[in-house]
Amino acid sequence: MSSRKIFAIPLLLIIVSFATSCGLTKKPKPLDSATLLEIARHYGQGVHSSKVYAAAPHAARPKISPEMLEPEQDYMRPIKLYFSQGNYDQLEKAAREAREEKGRVFGGAWKVMKFYEAVHVALFNENSGESDWKIYFDALKDWVKAKPQSVSARISLAEGYVAYGRLARGSGYADTVSPNDWRLQAERVALAASILSDAAKLSEKDPFWYEEMMCVALDQGWDKAQARELMELGIAFEPDFLHFYREHANYLQPRWYGEQGEVEAYAEEVSNRVGGMEGDKLYFEISGLVACKCDATKEALKGFSWPRIQSGYYALEQLYGLTFYKRNTFASMAYKADDKPAARVAFEAIGENWDQTVWVKRERFDAAKAWASQ
């Protein structure tokens, strides 16, 4: 397995501190990457193939005014409530609608992606502890028990174990992780993989199954050929679900399994493959992932095309609208690109709505804003 240099924990897990073992379920027999990839080849296809499925051309979508899209928090709010109340009928209805309608929220994220995010964060807050993980997993297992044919319930349970494994690993460099914590993460990711394997046998299919399997691939250290094929299988399953491209870009970062310059070349490749405004938007999304808070230096955008990043940002605005998170992301990137005019416009639009997940500290935001105004 390749050495994992660093891991950026999702925001929810940054603010929560727990013990690293709950003994939540029986350990499954680990499934290796070749077995999991074979399952992925069959998922939704109905035929066997030892080759990568060729992704279909990106489909043209009818233009929807961004103002008509629902804000993501408004969409997620009732889903959080359904899960916390154990209202599994309504959860199933919401998941089915998200899959069938392929809807988006304001900012461009698929509703199906925000559905799973809402379930994942529903029972946690800034003061959560180990007992909250127990409650969370009990609720997920109750959902599986109540709806044994639900793909959404099993994907959510798998997502929980991936997150719980990443919590055990922590956010430090690989050489700071204890053998016991590596073991805990491996066990929890194995649970997630086993659950996804079971979910693949259900008649219901969901694009987020591939997204979660890509998380398993990252945490298990699949080789590049396997990880790339998994991404291609996801795109073949749902060509419009461009989140797959971004997930693989994360895998290709040097802090994980890529080499210097590899993710930049990949961004160019897949953005050209998608083409048009959606392709430019994808380029912005991938470059924004690389130039995240994990790398505050102005070298973070080296190898990317700043004009195309700008084109992608403006394409996102026209297609789906700009959330404050995306405005903050672009302002941070403009600062790193030494583009004062672009940064100034972004900071004016942000006002006081700075985003901690982008800037980490208010001092960084204020310093960049002051620089742009000079």
User: How much is the average pLDDT of 56-74?
Assistant: 74
User: How much is the average pLDDT of 50-66?
Assistant: 52
282 lies in some domain: no
CATH number at residue 89: 1.25.40
Between CA 119 and CA 79 the distance in angstroms is: 7
| Per-residue tokens: 292 | 């995240």
Q: Please report the beta strands in the chain, taking only residues with DSSP state E, as ranges in sequence order.
A: none
- Domain housing 103: 1-53+64-243
pLDDT (tens digit per residue) in 282-333: 999 999 998 875 555 667 788 999 999 999 999 999 999 999 999 999 999 9
283 lies in some domain: no
pLDDT (tens digit per residue) in 114-155: 999 999 999 987 777 788 999 999 999 999 999 999 999 999
The predicted structure's pLDDT at residue 293: 58
Question: If pLDDT is split at 50, 70 and 90, which confidence band does 226 have?
Answer: very high
Say whether pLDDT at 5 is over 80. no
CA dihedral 303→244→212→19, nearest 10 degrees, is 30
User: How much is the average pLDDT of 337-351?
Assistant: 96
15 lies in some domain: yes
What pTM did the predictor assign?
0.87
268 lies in some domain: no
Q: Which of 38-52, 305-319, 341-355 has the lowest mean pLDDT?
A: 38-52
The predicted structure's pLDDT at residue 3: 37
| Per-residue tokens: 188 | 């929890």
The predicted structure's pLDDT at residue 1: 36
Number of domains in the chain: 1
48 lies in some domain: yes
80 lies in some domain: yes
323 lies in some domain: no
84 lies in some domain: yes
Cβ(249)–Cβ(282) below 8 Å? no
Higher pLDDT, 348 or 2: 348
Name 322's Cβ contacts closer than 8 Å, sequence gap at least 6: 107, 313, 316, 349
User: How much is the average pLDDT of 107-117?
Assistant: 97
